[in-house]
Amino acid sequence: MELLTLSNGVLMPALGIGTFLMTPDQAEEAVCQALQCGYPMVDTANAYRNEKAVGRGIRKSGVPRDKIFLVSKLWPTVYTAPDAVDRTLERLGTDYLDLLFIHQPAGDFLAGYQQLEAALQAGKVRSIGISNLKGEKLDRLLAACAVKPHVIQMEAHPYCTQKEIKSILAPYGTVTMAWYPLGHGDKALLQEPVFAALGEKYCKTPAQIILRWHIQMGHAVIPGSTNPDHIRDNAALFDFALTDQDMADIAQLDRDVRYYNPTPETEENYASFAPDFDSQP
C-alpha cells in the first residue's frame, strides 16, 4: 500500500473507502468489507449521517483501530459549536481521528478551521484539512490559519485535475484527496476508450486504471461502492504501474469539467442546513 507523507510527517494511505450517500446499513457493511480486504482508510462526514454505522463497521471488521486511517468532516452548522469534534468522535466510537476536514466553505468556516487547529493541538486529530475551498475563501483561510491544511479533499478525476488549486497549495505541501475519483460512477468517464485500451494492456478494469492514475498523480482516493466485487477490485491497484506515455494519454481527457457545480448561494445555504447528526442508528 502506498503512503503519502503529510507536511507534519503523518503518513496517509493512498486508498480508502468513501461512504457518501450510503445508508447506515450500507456504510457498516461496506466499511467492514473494505477493511477486511485491506483498505487502510475510511472517509465519512457529519453530513453523511452514517458515522455511528462507520464506527460499527470498523469494530465488526476486527481490524485494530491503530491500523486504520479514519477521516471525517465537520459540517458548517457546527463550525462554532464547541463540542463539534467531541461529538464526531463519540458517534464514531473513537478517541481520535487521523484526519478531520471542514466540509464546506459556508458559514463561519474560519471558526470551523480554528476548531480543527485546536483539536490538533489537543491530540484529538492527527492532521487537518479543507474541503471544497477555492478562490477568495481559500485565500482568506490560507492568510488566517496557523496550521496550513495538510490535505485538501476536492473533486478530481481525469476530466478535472484541479491544476490551479494544486499550484496554490503546493508551497504548503498540502496533499490532494480526490472525491468523485470515478466521476461518481459516470459511464461516459468509465467508458472512455483510453481506459478500455489500458485495461486490456494491464488486465485491469477501467475503474482500476482510473484509480491507479490517481495514485500516480499523487492523489489519495476514496472510491465509494456498496458492491462487494467493486470494493475488492478497487483495492487491487498496487501490482501494476502506468507508464509516462499512459499518463500522457489519460492527460488528454483533462477538460476542467466538474460534476458538482454549486452556485455561491447553494454553498452558503449549507450554513443553514442543519440535520440532526445524533439521530442516526
Ligand X SMILES: NC(=O)c1ccc[n+]([C@@H]2O[C@H](COP(=O)([O-])OP(=O)(O)OC[C@H]3O[C@@H](n4cnc5c(N)ncnc54)[C@H](OP(=O)(O)O)[C@@H]3O)[C@@H](O)[C@H]2O)c1
Which residues are at the interface with ligand X (CB under 6 A)?
Answer: 18-20, 43, 103, 131-132, 153, 179-185, 190, 205, 207, 222-227, 230, 233-234
Q: Which is nearer to ligand X, 220 or 245 (CB)?
A: 220
Q: Compare residues 159 and 180 and give the one whose CB is closer to ligand X.
A: 180
> Which residues, in sequence order, are bridge partners of residue 13?
3
Our CB check for ligand X shows the closer of 9 and 203 to be 203
Question: From the CB of 276, what's the least distance to ligand X, in Å?
Answer: 20
CA distance 189 to 210: 9
d(CA 60, CA 38): 14
Set 39, 48, 79, 159: catalytic member:
48
- Is 260 catalytic? The answer is no
Q: Which residue, 122 or 256, has its beta carbon nearer to ligand X?
A: 256
Q: Least distance (Å) from ligand X to the CB of residue 122?
A: 24
- Least distance to ligand X, CB of residue 139, Å: 20
Q: How far is the CB of 19 from ligand X (least distance, A)?
A: 5
| Least distance to ligand X, CB of residue 49, Å | 13
Catalytic sites, residue numbers: 48
